[in-house]
Amino acid sequence: MARVVLAMSGGVDSSVAAHLLIEQGHEVIGVFMRHGEEAVEACAIEGQPASSPLLPIVNQRADHKQGCCSASDAEDGRRVAERLGIPFYALNLQAEFRGIIDYFVEEYSVGRTPNPCVMCNNRIKFGKLFDYANSVGAEFLATGHYAQLALGDDGPKLTRGVDASKDQSYVLFGIRREYLQRMLLPVGGYQKPAIREIAGSLGLNVAEKKDSQEICFVTSGKHDEFVRSRRGADSEPTAGDIVTTEGKVVGTHPGIEGFTVGQRRGLGVAMGEPYFVVQIRAPEKQVVIGPVEALGRRELSAADTNWLVEPPAGSFSCLAQIRYNSSAWPATAKVLDGDRLEVTFDDPQKGVAPGQAVVCYDGDRVMGGGWIE
Q: Which residues are catalytic?
A: 120, 216
Rounded Cα gap, residues 34 and 55, in angstroms: 11
Q: What does the H/E/C string look like for the chain?
A: CCEEEEECCCCHHHHHHHHHHHHCCCEEEEEEEECCCCCCCCCCCCCCCCCCCEECCCCCCCCCCECECCHHHHHHHHHHHHHHCCCEEEEECHHHHHHHHHHHHHHHHCCCCCCHHHHHHHHHHHHHHHHHHHHCCCCEEECCCCEEEEEECCEEEEEECCCCCCCCHHHHCCCCHHHHHHEECHHHHCCHHHHHHHHHHCCCCCCCCCCCCCCCCCCCCCHHHHHHHHHCCCCCCCCEEEEECCCCEEEEECCHHHCCCCCCCCCCCCCCCCCEEEEEECCCCEEEEECHHHHEEEEEEEEEEEECCCCCCCEEEEEEECCCCCCEEEEEEEECCCCCEEEEEEEEEECCCCCCEEEEEECCEEEEEEEEC
Query: Cα(197)–Cα(191) distance, rounded to whole angstroms?
Result: 10
Whether the CB-CB separation of 159 and 355 falls below 8 Å is answered with: no
d(CA 116, CA 40) in angstroms, rounded, equals: 21
Please count the other Cβ atoms lying within 10 Å of the Cβ belonging to residue 48.
13
Angle at 285 between CA 283 and CA 287, to 5 degrees: 120
Cα 266 to Cα 204: distance, rounded to the nearest angstrom: 40
